[in-house]
Amino acid sequence: MSDIRKKALELYKPPFTADGMGGYIFDSENQMVADESGGTHISQVRGWGRIGYLEEPEKLQDEVGAIIAEALNEYWEKHSEVH
């Protein structure tokens, strides 16, 4: 596992919850992970207020996005009849 992947995984703590009202996703410590974009995509990675002060913040935020995409893919593959 790369260092950036390890750092990204350390940013947030499961279990994750969706608020059901504004498209926000939070971790167990009430840190916002993602929110509704209002655009043409599902969500956008949040946390720049925290991440922006860390080493290589752009790479870290991109890695969180990659982790979220992997999690969505795994869920769809497991639960969807279309593969």
Is the Cβ–Cβ distance between 30 and 24 less than 8 Å? no
Instruction: Look at the block and give the residue holding tokens 């969505």.
Output: 72
The strand order across the sheet containing 25-26 reads 17-18, 25-26, 32-35, 44-45
User: Sign of torsion, CA 28 75 60 24?
Assistant: negative
Distance CA 55, CA 4 (A): 10
User: HSE of 30 in the Cβ direction (CA atoms, 13 Å)?
Assistant: 0
User: What would the pLDDT profile of 35-65 be if each residue is shown by its tens digit?
Assistant: 876 766 777 787 778 888 999 999 999 999 9
User: What would the pLDDT profile of 5-32 be if each residue is shown by its tens digit?
Assistant: 999 999 999 999 998 777 889 999 999 8
Domain boundaries, the chain: 3-79
For residues 77, 29, 62 and 40, what is the CA-based torsion angle, rounded to 10 degrees?
70
Rounded to two decimals, what is the model's pTM?
Answer: 0.81
Q: What's the mean pLDDT in 65-82?
A: 91
Q: What is the pLDDT of residue 82?
A: 67
